[in-house]
Amino acid sequence: MNDGTGEKIAWVTGAGKGIGRALAKKLVAQGYVVAVSARTRDDLSSLASECPPGRILRYPLDTTDPVRTEEVVASIEAEHGPLDLAVLNAGTHTPMTAENFSVDVFRNLVEVNLMGTVNGLSQILPRFIDRRSGHVAVVASVAGYRGLPTSAAYGATKAALINMCEALKPEIEAHGVRLTLINPGFVETPLTDRNDFPMPFLISAEAAADHIATGLNRSAFEVAFPGRFAFLMKLMRILPDRLFFALTRRMIAK
């Protein structure tokens, strides 16, 4: 699919900062015309100014708004042609301990991380399935592998995304649509700046974008990085509970 010029069209949500912003630039460098969405218009404008003219298409969006999400996807395809790739990356993080357990924090993370992605999928999947083509990428996190201290809400949303993608993959691939699950570890962004604990194997947003762009060009279902950290997190999934909780107790701030 393309816009009539032979160029591929991608859509990246959460493109104002961090991984989404770096990935949008990477996709432009690979030849895509990239529609970018974020809540902050100034972030999208500055992103466009850092890329060659006409390569970044700005569509401000709060992904928790299903009506606006429908309008944005329809506008992108009406104005620039069918999408080839959609990267549903928008997300947020608020640390939450048992002592400050909050319904409002939990609800906000569910709305942004989970339902924001669901809103995007609800518009993308019917189009891709109807055309029997297209590539969807969902950004979750290695934090969704097992529950970690201060991440009861964040990790729950990411675990839900992982489970959802695993359920969807065989169904949508039967219609010729690709699905890639992206599970980053710690990436240096405004969100991780909120963390007050050591972050092992921390990488830059640009390095994360390189991992994602490379992974999107491969046939693997999951793109997890950095490799050593992803391996350790996967290992924790199979640890006996006694050993797992012995480790996570050490993560609790004294």
Catalytic machinery residues: 154
Beta-bridge partner residues of 96: 151
CA distances, 80 to each of 54, 67, 155 (Å): 11, 20, 36
Please say whether the beta carbons of 140 and 179 come within 8 A.
no
Q: What residue type is 27 in one-letter code?
A: L
DSSP reduced 3-state for 178: strand
Beta strands 203-204 and 222-225 are unpaired
Helices 18-29, 41-49: crossing angle, 10 deg rounding: 30
Q: Please, what's the b/e burial string for 104-133 (b: 16 or more CB within 10 A of its CB; e: otherwise)?
A: ebbeebbbbbbbbbbbbbebbbebbbeeeb
199: number of Cβ within 10 Å: 13
Tokens of 168: 């969807």
